[in-house]
Chains A and B, each alone.
Chain A
């Protein structure tokens, strides 16, 4: 066990898989000597050489497109997109190619690549260094979408993603890169994709969240507890394919639900959770599902602390559903 930050855990996962499997290759902008702008790939070039961890020209389309070809021909590429905001030049390659290759080839060809990218706000990065684009990708059958919120999960989920036979988009909450620390086992271990994590038990209200919103929800749950509202917090950690049974069980267990994400609300992931509950657990519900989300606007800069759901807005929603 070592006590690592989330970004160190990502680095550890890359290191562990590269050591175990010579087909694992890391590529992206600035992932070489610099070690990535957030240092997720620090020392990988030193240790494994420029053939295994290398800088690419400045083209996300090129990074993902070539990674797909590598994956089709025996390598295990782990592509870094420097910020999730810059993934859109590669949208075509992800949505039209990586996600559909298995299907369109009748299972003859596959693209088991991982695309890692930091997402979300909290660093005063304005419109283009802060977005949470998970919903675009969750609307893409054939992709898996994973978002860790702890160092332990970051390593275990990333190793699972790299070993997975399908393309995985691995969204890393940059606001938590250095803000959370935790025990991480040495060496190889996995956390299964498509499983949720119970962050906190509770019987009155369930809060569903993921990524950087997990600690926010946790704090709100503590504050709610002080008012006698016993709040359960569930970290979804894989959005696609979602563990629907776990979500429904948790919703039924409290009959009151809040969903939190920093992405905009309209057609956001909260809408899917809400619809799922409406379809399969409506008879258990004691209150309408409440969503606490970013605004349906681009991501601001100066007012980002108001844009991002905080403990107060989450607490307000917990109170509203609890007292409905």
Chain B
């Protein structure tokens, strides 16, 4: 495989937009295909519920995954248990598939006392240590060199992990992208860079992000192969990622995969995209729904009975609603959390600051039991 002629074993598309076959399919087990569908649908259901809660003022912020489900589920499904996923804002759905429990997901969206990050991060910054999914800070591109360093560590330790490093088209302009790609190329680390090209970085179109219209060509400058796939074709995403992940695992070095999809909603729940993009463009992409495409394929193949998808959806929504309900009853956050986890031990100056704060909080009846002063 030479750098400027990417291997033909990576196909842009396996399913046409109408769900029909774009050439021959690899052999798949039907139950696996059905599971993949459930994962896809779960992402959409969670997303829709979170947006609804946000509109009702019950959670602060949602970075919607609508329209991008196949890109994260398809590529994420090609990572094995020991592999890591370094995420941006919109990969939470893949974390669910890889093991993040739904209640932890919802607790993080509420930033409540059950949140494993202890309500420190803004909503929509998920993490799950068990499936090697650190949270994104918020600072665009910073996770890219982290993933490279972790992949370097895997190599040094003789582990066979591969690191999937995810980021948006906007993030390709960041310093982290350049450093991460460059170091990865030089060090030949076991990593796959996944650029989720969704057309926009808030209001900046991807065409204004770089003068190179084919994002996959960026890889060439770093001495690694780059590929593009239809990000709304879950099987194309899966197959491409599988080749690249196993290539990395075999010690053949990093690669770059651009999954071409579209952000159907605004950048976040605080954004009004009608100010900067055409309704026609959005409508065009609405007609290329990745879930509908896969559903049609599965119905044709007989994996899903007609109407079965709807009952799966109803079941998923009921599960999510039950979790939301339980999470809304989370106890209040302990005040001591203010000064904990800054260091391994709460240092003396922070204990003193907390105690001084507590004196005022107690005066106004705000402290709860368990919020007591630290010994100095």
Contacts and interface: CB of A to CB of B under 8 A. Distances in A.
A129 interface: yes
Interface residues of A, number: 39
A133 B275 CA distance: 31
B209 A265 contact: no
Contact of B120 (A32, A265, A301): A301
Interface string B103-136: 0000000011001000111100100000000000
Nearest to A307: B338
A316 B363 CA distance: 10
Contacts of B174: 58-59, 89
B138 A129 contact: yes
Interface stretch (A71-79, A150-158, A194-202, A291-299): A291-299
A303 interface: yes
A182 interface: no
Contacts of B357: 295, 306, 313
B175 A57 contact: no
Among B137, B170, B204, which residue has the most Cβ atoms of chain A within 10 A?
B204
Contact of A32 (B137, B270, B276): B276
Given A37-B270, A295-B353, A312-B360, A59 B173 contact: yes
B119 A265 contact: no
Among A57, A61, A298, which residue has the most Cβ atoms of chain B within 10 A?
A57
Interface residues of B, number: 48
Interface string B325-349: 0000000010101110010000001
B138 A128 contact: yes
Among A55, A88, A307, which residue has the most Cβ atoms of chain B within 10 A?
A55
Nearest to B204: A55
Contact of B175 (A29, A56, A61, A312): A61
A302 B111 contact: yes
Contacts of B204: 29-30, 32, 55-58
Interface string A243-271: 00000000000000000000001100000
A86 B120 CA distance: 18
Contacts of A124: 60-61, 122
Interface of B: 60-61, 111-112, 115, 119-122, 125, 137-141, 170-171, 173-175, 201-204, 208-210, 270-271, 275-276, 333, 335, 337-339, 342, 349-350, 353-354, 357, 359-361, 363-364, 366
18 contacts: A34-B203, A37-B271, A55-B208, A56-B204, A57-B204, A57-B208, A62-B173, A124-B60, A126-B122, A127-B120, A128-B137, A295-B338, A295-B357, A297-B342, A301-B119, A303-B119, A306-B335, A312-B364
